[in-house]
Structure 1
Amino acid sequence: MSTTAGVKPGWRQRIESLARPRHRESLPVALDRHRVYILPTAFGWFFLLLLLAMLAGALNYNNNPALLLAMLLAGTANTSLFAAHLQLSGLQVLAIDAEPVAAGKPLVVDVHARAQPGRSRRGLRVECLGTTAVLTLDNGAGTATLQVPTTRRGWLDAGRVRISTARPLGLARAWAWVWPASPLLVYPAPEVHGPPLPDGGGDNGRARLHPAGDDVHHLRAYRRGDARRAIAWKPSARHGTLLVREYEQPLGADLVLDWHALHALAWEDRIQRLARWVDQAEREGRRWTLRLPTQALGPARGADHRHACLRALALLPEAGGSDVGTR
């Protein structure tokens, strides 16, 4: 990285540190007049120089119509500053959330905002982690969706989120900062090409009754609605009453995804393989237990269990950054 590229972020951070808020905050928050900042845009500076030239020419040549026009344009520019400030004043940022994704995929971040109806708010833009999106308020509420790139697993700090506008004339830009306290979660990237799921090693290798099963479990008395093909005719003749076959279908054994069984792999490779297996087990509808160095999750299945497992994998410490054993 060049020296110039390294200096600019430092100055930006210093400027941001002087602006409100100075600490992380819980949402929702309201943007009041103390949090809204405003400065001329490049076009605004050009417009100001043009006005000064017009004023100098009008005074030099004692041209009253030109002087009146310059004053009228100056008043319009001054009014646009208040209008830009009012675009943000009173705006409420309700929440900033995102569904976790695997590292390397863009994280879809939603910024939810609300404002009192009656005032038109246009040209609002939201900036977060180098990405920008338009915030459109429909009936006083709206959501801006940003595609934030991700590179690493774990917590992603959204940092300061900037909401700005250059409306109505583009002469000045008003902006405000929101600094959410809650970070966003990024799952570990699953292994691209890996082995299939390990054999089940849990305690769920039992069978359940199923009409489409393969093995006969027992005989029971006939009940209205039972299929004729399920009637056991020979045992029924011996007992003098209709008996029906109950079939069973074996349940798949619970999977055990064990961290210590992958001792031949590097730290991050273990995490990626286990993430792949968790996704694969969920797609196949299997029950699984995830055993990590400090905890065990399961046996269970479903979206909630998948999220809990991937979250635990994402929040594992970096290799060498913990006293966790790597047997």
Structure 2
Amino acid sequence: MAAPLRRRARARLDRWLRGRTPSALPVRFDRHGIYVLPTRFGAFFAVLLTTMGLGALNYNNNPALLLCLVLAGAAVASLLHAQLQLAGLEVRAIGAEPVPAGSTLKLRVHVRAVPGRARRGLRVECAGQAATLSLAEGGGEAVLALPTARRGWFDPGRIRISTTRPLGLARAWAYVWPEAPLLVYPAPEPDGPPLPLGRGEGLQSRLHPAGDDVHHLREWRAGDSRRAVAWKASARRNALLVREFEQPLGTDVVLDWDMLAGQGRESRIRRLARWIDEAERGMRRYRLRLPGQPAIGPGSGQAHRHACLRALALLPGEADAAR
């Protein structure tokens, strides 16, 4: 019962803080957005000082009272110093490369600080994960490993930057949220049928070192295999020449949503994601057709792959599609 109550209380606190905290990057921390509270050790230290002060007053012990006041002054100074550790910090960027659902998302938090002030013991926390933040020459980066469970937009929630320096008596922290959520690709199907090959007219070919037919001769470049050197032609030209082969390919591969009729919605998405990866590994050009959207492609490469996987990741789920 205690854990659900804590989660609900944390969610209410998030909603209250989100309405008061700017989310557009860059975000600069000032005294209005930094919170400071005693740690457990700080609370124990306060009780200890209170006991010492009462005892010194009761027995009229001036040295003990002076020591108590000195320690109290150091504690108050540590509160101010903890706040100054965060004051002036600027969160410049928050981002992560998309990963398939079920993989670990590497969330990168880029922070800048005004040079001239030493900042130590900074800690970045998000979604139950934590990492230390080291600032070198006024800038630094913390990487958080966040687990993912489902495709689509991933909201990491609030990101907290905190410190307990210099004495560990108080914890100063501030919150920031990414302006836009992060993208999680659909998890590809682990086992399935091979990539459908293109058929019909308009056969293409591409250069490939393991091809069947000699396409042309070119000058040798660093990294070329010695087996591909045309020694007779090189002797006639008095220069190293290399055979360039070609391998026939079919037409552009069409990955159509309708060709997987009879399967569940998520099964279709996972199989299309698998075929996209296979087409990229095979250096094939492909086109993706999804319901209610214009065809994507044909094309290949990282930009085309991202566009296709993004479209698959943002497709509505079973419940949303049935409405």
Q: Identify whether the pair has TM-score above 0.5, normalized to the shorter chain.
A: yes
Find the counterpart in structure 1 of residue 276 from structure 2: 278
Kindly provide the CA deviation profile for residues 44-74 of structure 1, in whole angstroms up to 9, marking residues without a partner as x. Answer: 0000000001001111111111101000000
2:111 touches 2:139 (CA, 8 Å); kept in 1?
Answer: yes
Q: Which moved more, 1:3-12 or 1:104-113?
A: 3-12
Q: Distance in 2 between matches of 1:298 and 1:264?
A: 25
Q: Distance in 1 between matches of 2:177 and 2:267?
A: 34
TM-score (ref. length: structure 2): 0.86
Whether 1:250 and 2:226 are equivalent positions in the alignment is no
- 5+ long unaligned stretches in structure 2: 221-229, 234-243
Distance verdict in 2 for CA 1:68–1:250, change over 3 Å? same
Tell me by how many angstroms 1:194 deviates.
1.2
Find the counterpart in structure 2 of residue 126 from structure 1: 124
2:21 touches 2:175 (CA, 8 Å); kept in 1?
Answer: no
Tell me by how many angstroms 1:81 deviates.
0.2
Q: Distance in 2 between matches of 1:135 and 1:211?
A: 47
1:95 touches 1:113 (CA, 8 Å); kept in 2?
Answer: yes
Q: Distance in 2 between matches of 1:270 and 1:186?
A: 17
1:27 touches 1:95 (CA, 8 Å); kept in 2?
Answer: yes
Q: Which moved more, 1:9-18 or 1:72-81?
A: 9-18
Q: Which moved more, 1:313-322 or 1:104-113?
A: 313-322
Tell me by how many angstroms 1:251 deviates.
3.2
Kindly provide the CA deviation profile for residues 81-117 of structure 1, in whole angstroms up to 9, marking residues without a partner as x. Answer: 0000000000000010000000001100000000011
1:101 touches 1:186 (CA, 8 Å); kept in 2?
Answer: yes
Structure 1 vs Structure 2: percent identity of aligned residues? 61
Q: Which moved more, 1:72-81 or 1:202-211?
A: 202-211
Find the counterpart in structure 2 of residue 159 from structure 1: 157
Matches within 5 A, 1:196-207: 196-201=194-199, 204-207=202-205
Distance verdict in 2 for CA 1:248–1:121, change over 3 Å? closer
Larger Rg: 1
2:21 touches 2:176 (CA, 8 Å); kept in 1?
Answer: no
Q: Distance in 2 between matches of 1:317 and 1:24?
A: 30
Q: Distance in 2 between matches of 1:209 and 1:307?
A: 25
Distance verdict in 2 for CA 1:273–1:46, change over 3 Å? same
Find the counterpart in structure 1 of residue 302 from structure 2: 303
Find the counterpart in structure 2 of residue 35 from structure 1: 33
Distance verdict in 2 for CA 1:84–1:283, change over 3 Å? same
Matches within 5 A, 1:1-327: 3-19=1-17, 22=20, 25-201=23-199, 204-207=202-205, 249-295=247-293, 296-322=295-321
Find the counterpart in structure 2 of residue 242 from structure 1: none
1:166 touches 1:172 (CA, 8 Å); kept in 2?
Answer: yes
Tell me by how many angstroms 1:208 deviates.
6.4
- Match of 1:81, SS? helix
Tell me by how many angstroms 1:253 deviates.
2.5
Q: Which moved more, 1:285-294 or 1:138-147?
A: 285-294
Tell me by how many angstroms 1:252 deviates.
3.5
Tell me by how many angstroms 1:213 deviates.
6.7
Q: How large is the Cα RMSD of the aligned pairs?
A: 2.9
Q: Distance in 2 between matches of 1:259 and 1:34?
A: 52
Kindly provide the CA deviation profile for residues 257-280 of structure 1, in whole angstroms up to 9, marking residues without a partner as x. Answer: 111111121100111111111111
Q: Distance in 2 between matches of 1:248 and 1:149?
A: 43
2:115 touches 2:138 (CA, 8 Å); kept in 1?
Answer: yes
Find the counterpart in structure 2 of residue 236 from structure 1: none
Q: Distance in 2 between matches of 1:87 and 1:49?
A: 25
Q: Distance in 2 between matches of 1:70 and 1:203?
A: 91
Q: Distance in 2 between matches of 1:144 and 1:210?
A: 42
Distance verdict in 2 for CA 1:119–1:228, change over 3 Å? closer
2:24 touches 2:179 (CA, 8 Å); kept in 1?
Answer: yes
Q: Distance in 1 between matches of 2:172 and 2:144?
A: 20
